Chain A
């Protein structure tokens, strides 16, 4: 029978199937960070259980880490709770024998950036992490989803996850992207079309020429936000671009084993006659750079758009949500997106903290200064991204333009460390969530691509990067 890519990976990982269809899905890779794991390790300890396959687990602290230089190490982290949480992770990885990139390791960084960078993420695998943006790894044709802490404990103890199968959805983007339009614009446009619950219950496969033409970095950006569309996992079939990215990565197979692996990865695609429960088709040529205006990722508009009126929506619930978002964001219906002034700019996160994202922002900034009233920061997604960017001189471009050049981490994507918006401050951000309070209490977030954020930094308001 014809199978989708999801069907193939799923079928290859069912370790046990109960009569009611509930499956034990075998998990090949498990990434662990400091926020969602302490209670899982505590659970193991309390029940006298061990980690079944420590070699399949990789741990890193990313959410809480300061993005100032780590002089004095963990002990010098001022915030008590952050320090305790990172120390708890350090103690847990030692006790349970798990590999850990510590806060001074060059390989450290946001969990979803370092997995691919190390070749820890490979096609055809099942990958989990106690973090919803695990969907990122689907860019390699791996079935990757976020799990809760109880499930983290379950995977640590059994290397499996209790799962029922999701439905299949395919989003096809035909044609090539116009100039100035990026992977971020694609993924946000999809959410604008399908809504934040549009993918609930589905695994979303991205296909079509525009996806095939994306680099791995771009594909990761697309899959990263699958969860913002409600889908637990995003998938892109691996191809020559995928293999070229992975070849030579520290954890990727080598020699004959590499050839054998690539042979098997070539089977990872949706059969021509496979049936999807839901299909969405879009045309790349119709896309223009976009940004969000409200407090849900589905509040996205082309940059030439205007802030909506609540009455633009038919149903009452959406009208109420729109009014609430307008009040929170301090915006007037009908105003142009490009008239929205900003105070801060954040370039970084697992959505857009990779080298290509930094290059894209730097290309816009080169030779420019950021607007007077704007404070801007760039947070590389990992230590390796930071080093490479410095080798290429990107740090200098950012600093010359007036950006603050930081150490890697999640930073102001969720503002668990000191990098936060103040109440009322408005930020052009390359991250993935514009929820109320996400980047700081009463902070206001506009999501966009790195190039668009750089352009906004220069102008001091949202702007079309193509006009620069």
Chain B
């Protein structure tokens, strides 16, 4: 995984609440056996008309937002299924940061495994950023993970919280499996203990 660097770019406003994983990547695109190339299908049913042409009302189809790197989203973003195709698709679009008042648990975890930073903020802060985002291409934001702050287009900064371990992994681009493998002795010992305690498992 690439190391997460400071992200500077346009933020796209998606104020709808409960944007679910079926909206992010409809199931007809889950049939791939690869991780890459899903960006063109991200938000497909909102983004394209039935005939395949673009729906100009969808935010990422609008001039100024096409190269957005940040999404400011309504509450409970990513609810629904566990499909990691959701962050794969969003990441493939070039989105690096999603900011909302809350995320569904599985989606939230999946983001970190794919170099995407989900940021939870209180409603008033999200409202502020949502307004900034609506101003379009000139209103770029900067998300600085090291210092855990977002700089708005007018220079104001907003601090955010993140688990230390998750931050570390994103910044270093660390692979979870490799790290867990270093603790293989603990796993071996645990297995041996459980084989005695619950032999039917």
Task: Write the residues of chain A forming the contact surface with B, with a CB cutoff of 8 angstroms.
Answer: 15-16, 18, 20, 22, 24, 26, 28, 35-36, 38-39, 42, 47, 49, 52, 63-64, 79, 81-82, 84-85, 88, 122, 124-125, 130-132, 134, 145-151, 153-154, 157-160, 162, 164, 166, 196-197, 200-201, 230, 232, 253, 257-258, 260-261, 264, 296, 317-318, 320-321, 324, 414-416, 423, 433, 435-438, 441
Contact = CB atoms under 8 A, between A and B. Distances in A.
Given A146-B82, A158-B180, A416 B33 contact: no
A437 B80 CA distance: 13
Contact of B105 (A79, A201, A436): A201
Given A153-B177, A196-B76, A35 B201 contact: no
Contact of B83 (A35, A134, A158, A436): A35
Interface string B43-68: 00100001000000000000000000
B33 A39 contact: yes
A154 B33 CA distance: 18
A-B residue pairs, 6 tightest by C-beta: A81-B31, A253-B200, A150-B113, A38-B33, A15-B190, A148-B84
A24 B185 CA distance: 12
Contacts of A200: 76, 102-105
Contact of A197 (B33, B79, B201): B79
B20 A39 contact: no
B200 A260 contact: yes
B3 to A, nearest CB: 17
A258 B198 CA distance: 11
B40 interface: no
Contacts of A148: 82-84, 87, 106, 109-110, 113
A56 to B, nearest CB: 9
Given A24-B187, A416-B30, 9 more contacts: A134-B82, A146-B82, A160-B187, A197-B102, A230-B76, A260-B199, A321-B16, A433-B22, A435-B23
B124 interface: no
Contacts of A296: 18, 20
Contacts of B102: 197, 200
A132 B163 contact: no
B27 A414 contact: yes
Nearest to B187: A15
B187 A16 contact: yes
A317 B23 CA distance: 17
Nearest to A231: B105
Contact of A230 (B26, B79, B164): B79
Given A154-B180, A157-B181, A264 B35 contact: no
A154 B177 contact: yes
Q: Identify the interface centre among A84, A122, A124, A197: most chain B CB within 10 Å of its CB.
A: A197
18 contacts: A15-B183, A16-B183, A24-B186, A35-B31, A36-B82, A85-B33, A132-B80, A132-B82, A145-B106, A147-B106, A148-B106, A151-B109, A160-B187, A166-B105, A197-B102, A260-B199, A296-B20, A433-B20
Contact of A146 (B16, B106, B199): B106
Interface of B: 15-18, 20, 22-23, 26-28, 30-35, 45, 50, 74-76, 79-84, 87, 102-106, 109-110, 113-114, 163-165, 176-177, 180-181, 183-184, 186-187, 189-191, 194, 198-201
A82 B106 contact: no
A20 B166 CA distance: 11
B21 to A, nearest CB: 8
B22 A230 contact: no
Nearest to B107: A148
B106 A232 contact: yes
A317 B32 CA distance: 34
Nearest to B33: A38
Contacts of B184: 158
A63 B34 CA distance: 17
Contacts of A132: 80-82, 106
Nearest to A201: B105
B81 A318 contact: no
A122 B20 contact: no
B154 to A, nearest CB: 24
Contacts of B103: 200
Contacts of A230: 76, 79, 104-105
Nearest to A299: B18
Contacts of A435: 20, 22-23, 80
A433 B106 contact: no
Contacts of B87: 148
A435 B79 CA distance: 10
